[in-house]
Structure 1
């Protein structure tokens, strides 16, 4: 029997009626659902949160009476909800290692004047997390339990396994871009990868939402999406050939390929040189990230996601900016396959996107021999 849960409903949209429906439907505590009538022990609460984070994430409701794991009454608690939430947040952040800072907290006001505290714990990809009492907790079908050695080893291997899967995927996509789409190098390949991208059950309703999905090319335009075997697709072909494509996979992976940030210059005195406009790419990446955040909201994709930036076939390319060319830069790109460090974005957390973009751009300028992004002239 499929577990009943509120976890896949938008966090701000869970109401008292949803809690009553769980009672009427005979729902029970499960892998992603836990009820507490009250909280008196801070470590007990932190263990619940850590267990969810170390497993598949989940919703914890405080103010719901349960009996043997089955909710029986949405009684609520008579407290100042804002003060209570602040207390819970401080408990969690000061008693977890690595600290869990992306937990969502809110209160649900009840018809009887009471409140239910709703805590949503996303699955963590920065674990395993330990409670400050030196316990690693995980979630089973209906309870939190201490993790065994094999559980801890598995959690530590999750990120490495994810990167291995991505590396295989990336090789396949590069081969298709070069050999099937016949896109010439140099090019930029950007992947937006949800942390659930390689889960077997990860399958988003792309065709149903296709009219609201933005498929513009990185650094360009284009919104007339087509449908292919992988999901939604758009390609750009200009006067000089293939310029790039955007593919949204059913797993919510978003791939963007583009050569629009590259250009050539030549003079009578020097042979033709190829330049990479870092300012154009920076603007393009900023716009793309904002577009993908909107796309993921349209798809109800709530997982954190990685951004991988790859620059292919760019050995010898020189960096440039609007208004000033760094022809005398310390160096050109010296690698035909330049992979910039991955960045994770958690849409549940108010992140400074400019800082994310600057991190990527600084690594790019490192490839041109600069310590960090130079001031554009």
Structure 2
């Protein structure tokens, strides 16, 4: 039993009390503190040591306001004072006391029914490791093994520095393999031979441990499922398959019907694919603002789904077109009407990945570089859906 399966937003007094009742001891993922960290240099460095050691290892939860003996929790001892100021102080210390800072570090107070509060800190496993403590000219690295915090040696530091590029290479290999399979027609539902929009949201934790989750069980207790890139608002059907969970729309019985799916892989990756607009099932087109709005809304929904099930961040977002050799971009020239570019001539258009480290990111703004490259692929200088400031969508 641990807190790792409890989304941080739902963490409450009841979950902490269960840890105490069941005697869940400290581990690589869990640490208890009786008192809050003070303001002395020693106390501040101790806080930075504790959170950086978790980030540099496997991540975990730090609960302040619980006594322990031999690593086993004894009781909840309420903290007193201004909980908001306590949380803000720790947040600021984490921002300014570590290099690089820990992305997606979460700190909150938990009110107690009998008064007072606890402080919970969720430290993600970092993919920018190693983090070092730099407070007051310090320059020390820490890691965690079991309940022990230690300073890694040179070989261990080298491994930390090299782990992120290895994970990134695995993600790019997965992405390339999926595009080849989709282009070859190896999709969970039959799709047209014409161009396809393909979106991947890949949380880095999916490739960190090679672990699989009981996705179907998670979905049965959740309220979010990934939706297909469905610009027509058509009803969908659900199924399970070898890869995980499938949400799809068939678009009708004839060849040019619009088809789309969202595949939720067991390691947390979400793949969405949809036929581009087509009249004959062979050639296809996309139209500026509706296309951009569809992509942005789909990515937002996938990020919200990953967050809902605590699949982890950061994540790479990939935007691609498959079977795109006969695809064109349709646009409005000055004076009205519409024109179309020449076909792309490429079966696969794989755009630069977008790095997302927060569910609160402005997805439209973050995705703009990928849209610009896509427009370049069709002979246009930039994506003309954005305004002159590059941070808002033009309505149609």
Moved more, 163-172 or 137-146: 163-172
Deviation, 1:82, is 1.0
Residues 214 and 166 of structure 1, relative CA distance in 2, 3 Å threshold: closer
Match of 2:225 among 213, 221, 225: 213
What is residue 32 of structure 1 aligned with on the other side? 29
Contact 2:212 / 2:267 at 8 angstroms: preserved in 1? Answer: yes
| Residue 388 of structure 2: aligned partner | none
Distance 1:182-1:302 versus aligned 2 partners, 3 A rule: closer
For residues 97-116 of structure 1, the aligned pairs below 5 Å read 97-116=99-118
What SS does the aligned partner of 2:250 have?
strand
Deviations for 1:74-94, whole angstroms, at most 9, x for unmatched residues?
213222111111111111101
Question: Offset of 1:282 from its aligned partner?
Answer: 0.8
Counterpart of 1:184 (choices 193, 196, 199) is: 193
Which residue number in structure 1 is paired with residue 291 of structure 2? 281
User: How do 1:331-370 residues align onto structure 2 when only pairs under 5 Å count?
Assistant: 333=344, 335-346=346-357, 349-370=359-380
For structure 1, the residue ranges without an aligned partner over 5 or more in a row are 265-271
1:224 pairs with 2:214: no
Contact 1:277 1:322 in 2 (8 A): no
Q: What TM-score do the two structures reach when normalised by structure 2? A: 0.79
Once the two structures are TM-superposed, the CA of residue 44 in structure 1 deviates from its matched residue by 1.3
| Structure 2 counterparts to residues 244-259 of structure 1, below 5 A | 244-259=260-275
> CA deviation digits over 1:29-87, x for unaligned, max 9?
11111112231311111121112222222111222222332322321322211111111
- The 2-side partners of 1:367 and 1:175 are apart by 19
Q: Structure 1 residue 359: deviation in Å?
A: 3.7
| Structure 1 match to 2:205 | 196
Please report how far the alpha carbon of residue 137 of structure 1 lies from its aligned counterpart in structure 2 after TM superposition. 1.9
Aligned to 2:83: 81
Distance 1:219 1:129, change over 3 A: farther
Measured in 2, the distance between the counterparts of 1:302 and 1:118 equals: 18
Deviates more, 1:250-259 or 1:39-48: 250-259
Distance 1:337 1:205, change over 3 A: closer
Report SS of the residue matched to 2:206: coil
SS in 2 for 1:197: helix
State the secondary structure of the residue aligned to 2:140: coil
Which secondary structure does the structure 2 equivalent of 1:276 belong to? strand
Where in structure 2 are there 5+ consecutive unaligned residues? 386-393
Is the 1:110–1:116 Cα contact (8 Å) retained in structure 2?
Answer: yes
Contact 1:29 1:70 in 2 (8 A): yes
Once the two structures are overlaid, the 10-residue window that deviates more, 10-19 or 75-84, is 10-19
* Structure 1 residues 235 and 112, CA gap change in structure 2 (3 angstroms): closer
Relative to structure 1, the CA distance from residue 47 to residue 230 in structure 2 (aligned partners, 3 Å threshold; closer, same or farther) is same
Cα distance, 1:141 vs structure 2: 0.7
Q: Which residue number corresponds to residue 22 of structure 1? A: 19
Question: Displacement, 1:286?
Answer: 2.0
Contact (CA 8 Å) 2:58, 2:124: kept in 1 or not? yes
Other structure's SS at 1:225 match: strand
Counterpart position of 1:159 = 164
Matched, 1:170 2:185: no
Q: In 2 relative to 1, CA 57–371 (structure 1 residues): closer, same or farther, beyond 3 Å? A: farther
The aligned counterpart of 1:269 is none
Aligned-residue RMSD, C-alpha? 3.2
